[in-house]
Structure 1
């Protein structure tokens, strides 16, 4: 579980130095990225005013606009069940407003979808470079595809020239010292061409590399999906351990940071995998009081209760499901 504790501490350090948002474990085109930093774009405040949740991609790409309401089935180029699910979610979070006409549901956007995010930076966490796993292939995928403006490898290990030679040149390399919350830049990341087409590396073997071309438009859609998922998800765990030895933060953090710290282990823990009767220090108790939303709002640009939520609450119970 060392990587989990390392990743939480690293997220806190990135968030403290960012004007945007940080999220963990996000799906990209071909793999799960450890950590993503979404930097603010010119209309970030407009996005924050709409909803605290991730907006469904289908709803954003639909022909539903902010003017005249449209019959929902005519506004989507997707199977009806997927479209209806996107409509339901968009209405629920306040991105769509709904009304009934002749027993049909019509929808419109409550606000224009803004140009809200700037650059995206991906972090691959590998505390111990002596156990690289699929590190090289993962980083090659990121560089070849170019979904992220920058890709950075973060490690606790001392970085040698041999390590650098095995890592794609465009990838930045940072050392992170968790107990200090401090980074040391070993190598700066080279900006990638996110506006150009990319190549997705699907699989690789000594005799064969399977690839797939990805157009610039497809990349733009993937980038928006990643940014939206990051906006809705964040990086803090949803629940803290139900244990007497659990705390809502670590020694170097704010007491209300809503982080799963175990005083018995002396580090952050993964409540879903490390806590319970199998742990030698387990002492059943209610989880520590913590407000994940408040902690995220205190440390980032995310708004847990935007004005858009007020619009959502007005008269929604009038609209029965079709």
Structure 2
């Protein structure tokens, strides 16, 4: 019998190769399944302990995960407490989700359910299980919140003043971080790149004379993104700095956005950089890198860009994902009303 870690490894390959999911999604789904199996193992051990305390009597209504581990132990006879995926029942999964319900947000719970459904659908497709325990499992209804974004003036102030205010508050010894972070902010707002795309941009992906960059988005789909004049200038300034200090930095990296060891940044580091940038420029809004990406799309829409073009620039597979920005644009809504309604104030 294959072990649960083998099934999870095969599941990861399936998501990556067959479904073309991103590394982040594969990691999240895999982590969710490991959590589920850990829960089932703990429940099974707890029930076995109760059985021993009751002189071997166990409640038949709570035997699902007991059977799962007992069968596996009988097969291997080596004390391994792997869960037998064929014995997992709907009640076991609902028990896990019930435990998670008060611990995580609805969005996270929905993701866990998606992970579990995908895993057992995978096992069913491979004929590992005869009965799918998640067949009737439904996703929770999630209230859709409008993404937060900056106004044009707020975005302009951030990008125009971050560098000078950073030098003023931190000093020239932080020039490496300041120039790099300034470029990150410009990529987020000026081109609407995802964090996962920014940190993996390589020098060979840049076409500065033509004014664009090639990025590898979700599902390993390559797309071409225009660069603003400001972004091109900041890239050139960053490249000049790296070129002038390469001997002192003691590395040569293929990545554009790096730390002082020459490695590409992590997603967490970029999130921290964006939060700090708002404090440095005195704008005490709780924004994330995605907020700047939302601002990019919203301001394009406000200025007449069509949804299909915005979809291509953002790298959305479905237009419905891009359509949420139509709900964001209050300016657009008011403009249409003023131009179209006969009683509107002109």
Compute the TM-score of the two structures, normalised by the length of structure 2. 0.25
Compute the TM-score of the two structures, normalised by the length of structure 1. 0.26
- Larger helix fraction of residues: 2
Bigger RCO of structures 1 and 2 (CA < 8 A, at least 6 apart): 1
- Larger strand fraction of residues: 1
Q: Who wins on radius of gyration, i.e. which is larger?
A: 2
